[in-house]
Structure 1
Amino acid sequence: MIMSRSSITQTHFIALQLLSAAFVLCKPPDSDKPAGEHVHGREKIGDTEHYVDGVHNPEYDRQVLLGEDEATEFDKLSLEERKERLKIVFQKIDKDEDGLLTREELKNWANHVYSRNHRIDTEKHWDEHERADKDKLRWSEFLALGYGVSSETELEERPEFTDKFRQRLLREKRRWMVADKNKDKILTLAEYYDFLHPEDSNDTKHVYVEEQFEFMDKNRDKIVTVQEYIDDMYPPDSRAKDVEEPDWVKAQREQFDQYFDKNKDGKMDKQEVKMMMFPENYDRDDAEAAHLIYHADTDEDEKLSEEEVMKKYDIFENSHAIDFGNVLVHHDEF
């Protein structure tokens, strides 16, 4: 996310929250957070730190967005190669082939890319599990890959099974039970999709809200204070000493007070967290389409020509919901 935090509007921030689950980690050995940990909780990818001396590092976010390997591949492309591929992507978005991108076409493309990325992510992790039945995944098989055991009892006997580790397991089990629609304790591929990406389904998004609430509610008092909210995005142990709070953090304090704390009591309850993450009448894909048109539509006709897109190439390259970086690397697969 090359855009600074201080420039994030309410809808952009919500988009980042919703996109967080696109980067689910299925394997849990190195963290006490469950599959579905949101982006704010991940502080390092390879050798790339999320914060350097208390300053937000955009390269970290780019690697979250593209994946470490794809970010490296993307860097190998020259500027001209990237622009030529963007022209190809332009043609794919332009469904009516009139040489202009409408807000609806951009919205549909954003939804297509988002859904495709989640589907590919689900199929990738599904194939990593050794399954007795190719069409089903049992809890014991999930534990085998994620924890190296075949039962919870075996896991509890391990000395490294700390309270945080136990909380992680409980969250994953709760998510599993919610995704298991027919309650047979086995997941199909479709149910496994809901397990990895619960925010995509009305049947499972409540468990995602529950998890995010628990991540922020550090003292377990069933409320989220503004400081807990900030600490979740800007962990105290990542901050340099004697450094003034960054502008984007100050902006998020204002977001909390103005938008998220609905009853103005200085904190958020679970319902307010849900409204923050899934606000009524908010369309993630339409918001991104409107954002792109706002920044690139120089003739103000509510449509984008190829010339306008190329002039604002950097805006499209760094678009989160539309994920042009990934598309530019693998444009022939879309």
Structure 2
Amino acid sequence: MTALLQESISKMHKVLTFHSVFISFCVLFIIKLTYCKPLTFKKDLGDSQLTLDKLKPQDHLDALKMEHDGHINREYHKELFLGNHEDMEKDAQNADSKLKDIFYRVDGDKDEFLTEAELESWIKLKMEEHFDEALQENDEIFEHLDPDKNGKIHWKEYYVHFLLAMDIPEDTARKHVTDYDQIDLDSNAKEDLIRYKFRWTDADEDPADNELTKLEFLAFRHPEQAPKTLKNMVSSIINTLDLNDDHILSEEEFTALPPGEVEEQDQRDLDQQWQAERKKEFQLAVDTNHDGKATEEELKKYLDPKNPLQAVMEARNLINLIDVNKDGKLSLTEIMNRKDIFLSSKICDFARNLHDEF
């Protein structure tokens, strides 16, 4: 018994040691990259100050169906159908009327049904708006961070603006990026900056100089538009979901529930519904040659937000998810009965929350 206890303690010590080493590595990595070379700051910060919302890259990947962990982006349907859905979610009382308004705008022939073709045209429009908006916003923020117009932004310049957005005085912010004892940042801000630094380094490609060009800055803020992101995501998703290490995802692997014990019947029912929707997604949009497997190339096409087939697949997917009477089109009643898909996605999100997905 004593020997077993000693073995357990030894294993626990190894795990704790690994985490300590990993955390230390992250801290050293950030310090090294931040101090990598001297920097002469750009003096002109412009007339206005950027907010944290403008500076922070998105936590999830816009316009991509899946996240790095292989699970569905819970914002995806809303982004493609509603566009800027945040205002609707904040104004819950008027959300229904706004959703109805969108229904009638999509209904081109005014027959009070949405066909696959009408949905496809609308989704293409929303996709174009999304990418146009991302480019315009990226240009505006880049210009603000690059007042001397040399076409590059250094990490420390971004860091200074991040601190300014937290209402830290400019002179203190500038001192802090060379002397980290100037400001005692809270744990959330520190974690954010570590994550952003890794993303910054990932976007900083050629040359890797700790400075981002406008195109690299776009990859930092909107990695869904970078080919490198798609390649990395495919590898990450396969590594996460591929149980037999054959570098191909079967339908069973794609629809597998996240780890976690579920005991109540209501929770099991939600899991089954979540798996059913994942199965439809796999059959309709992922496994394009219908051989029961998803290759790396199929996953890449499935993830690529600029693939013209995305609008077609998403239109079909929405009809499959919402079309209760199976007439191949959507009525306003059907959409309002499944408005969770567009507004709060409570059903799908709750099922995943049971397994500590988020």
Question: TM-score normalised to the size of structure 1?
Answer: 0.46
More RCO (CA 8 Å, sep 6+): 1
User: Is the radius of gyration larger for structure 1 or structure 2?
Assistant: 2
